[in-house]
Amino acid sequence: MGYLDIFLFLISLLMIYWLIRELTRQQWAGNLLKKPATQHKNMSFYLWILLLFFWVYYAGEFLRALQEAVLSDDIIPESELSDLITRGITSTFWILFSWVNTLRAKHQPALHEKGFFVSEGFVPWKNLRWTQWNDEGHLELIYSPTLPTPFAKEIRRVWKIKLEEIEEVQQLLELNAPRSVGQVLVDEKGKPKNPKAHKVKK
């Protein structure tokens, strides 16, 4: 069992933790307030689920090879045993990783009582810095990353929301976003009410 195997094993344990969080998100993120319908299909969901199926198939091949080795009367060579361990850990990691990201892609964007979900995961309301609509129903969110990073103090995401859902999403943002958050609002036709430029501090 090499260093890479040990590393992937430890990361797999972390993936199990994230998988449990994804499956129990309403217990810690609060009730789901709204899952906005977007103008386009979430293609990342299909890519992740395709990757998940691939690694499930790969794991099936590993299990067949493991079964043959166990049922064999011969002693398993050390090199073959090491290869089986590597294949097992690798397939387990990628199945968990793909599963977590499949769930994330499926359930975002989403607004919950304690925050909102984007592609990289959960963002508490307190991290939200700015929201801005355009007349096509595109909602730009600017927020601080949940985990501090030296690479980006602010992250921008755009949700392409269907026009008929703009008003409800806007009301939820007004209700849950901190009062310090700058917002560019839209009217019932999707037109900005108070267009302003957001100046990012350098």
152-164: pLDDT as tens digits: 688 888 888 888 8
Confidence of residue 76 (pLDDT cuts 50, 70, 90): confident
106: pLDDT strictly greater than 60: yes
pTM: 0.79
For residue 174, give the nearest of 139, 122, 136, 131 by alpha carbon.
131
d(CA 92, CA 9): 9
What proportion of the chain, given as a percentage, has pLDDT over 90?
34
CB-based burial label for 94 (10 Å; 0-12, 13-18, 19+):
buried
196: pLDDT strictly greater than 50: no
pLDDT score for 130: 87
pLDDT score for 66: 83
Confidence of residue 147 (pLDDT cuts 50, 70, 90): confident
pLDDT score for 191: 59
User: ∠ at Cα 84 (75, 74), nearest 5°?
Assistant: 15
Sheet holding 138-143, edge to edge: 155-160, 138-143, 128-133, 182-184
Average pLDDT, the chain: 84
Mean pLDDT throughout 61-68?
85
d(CA 128, CA 123): 8
The radius of gyration computed from the CA coordinates of the chain, to the nearest angstrom, equals 22
59: pLDDT strictly greater than 50: yes
pLDDT score for 202: 39
pLDDT score for 30: 92
195: pLDDT strictly greater than 80: no
Determine the residue type at 131: T
Higher pLDDT among residues 199 and 103, named by residue: 103
pLDDT score for 1: 62
Beta bridge partners of 116: 111, 123
Sheet holding 110-112, edge to edge: 32-34, 110-112, 115-118, 121-124
pLDDT score for 146: 81
d(CA 183, CA 3): 49
